[in-house]
Amino acid sequence: LVVEVVHAVLLEHIQLTASTSEAYSILFKTLCNPGDAILTPVPGYPLLDSLAALEFLKTFPYFLTCADGKWRLDSGSLCSFPPQTKILLIVSPNNPTGHVFSKEEWNAAVEMASRENWAIVVDEVFGDFIYDGTERPWNWDSKDVPVFFLGGLSKSVGSPQLKLGWMAYRPGRLGARLKEAVEYVADAYLSVSSPAFALATPMLS
């Protein structure tokens, strides 16, 4: 993980968590207030709505459409967002469609997020299973947008009970205060398992 991510983010901007679900909880607490909104993909994974609801957040959809057997972002659907939207959530590869964001789609999302002062959260838990050489957006331009890439050991190595997650992020316009905020919330959990942490390096090597 570190070998790949270091090209796009600083090592100090990698935060370990007990799971990807916990990473969501940390980010929702860091970036949102109760009653704020996040944009989630449809089709999508219902767990995201549950995690948002537990933090008293509202979820609103943007859409993926299928034409000629290929899923694409409906970029126009990003324009239908409520007040107090704080996060655009991207799942790439998407569950259940398998859709992977293209660079064109990424640029459209970043343009909207920059204009509306959103953060972008990219759930890449299935990213290790892209076999067609599709480029991932770690090195793509994100302007001033804070961007978070989420992953987890249990998905990467196919061991559901081996819980260790991570977020690698670019602070964007939030600067140094974002690192302080993320670490403050993460430290309150004290949750990373020592056995999972010790196994991460040999299992990912």
Name the DSSP class of 134. P
77-97 pLDDT per residue, tens? 999 899 999 999 999 999 999
CA angle 46, 120, 115 (to 5 degrees): 125
The pLDDT score that the predictor gives to residue 2 is 44
What number of residues does the chain have?
Answer: 205
The pLDDT score that the predictor gives to residue 161 is 64
The tokens 């942490």 sit on which residue? Answer: 197
The pLDDT score that the predictor gives to residue 198 is 72
The pLDDT score that the predictor gives to residue 9 is 77
Contact 148, 120 (CB under 8 A): yes
Nearest to 113 by CA among 39, 169, 60: 39
The pLDDT score that the predictor gives to residue 7 is 45
Pairing of β 147-152 and β 165-170: antiparallel
Helix, strand, coil % (nearest 5) of the chain? Answer: 40, 25, 35
The pLDDT score that the predictor gives to residue 11 is 84
The tokens 């999302």 sit on which residue? Answer: 109
Angstrom distance (rounded) from CA 161 to CA 155: 10
The structure's pTM equals: 0.89
| 111 token code pair | 């343009």
Consecutive sets of 10 residues in the chain, 205 residues long: mean pLDDT of each?
54 89 96 97 94 97 94 93 96 92 95 97 82 76 95 67 84 95 91 70 68
Tell me the CA distances in angstroms from 138 to 95, 124, 146, 147, 182, one per residue in order: 20, 11, 12, 9, 20
Nearest to 5 by CA among 137, 123, 134: 137
Question: What are residue 52's DSSP bridge partners?
Answer: none
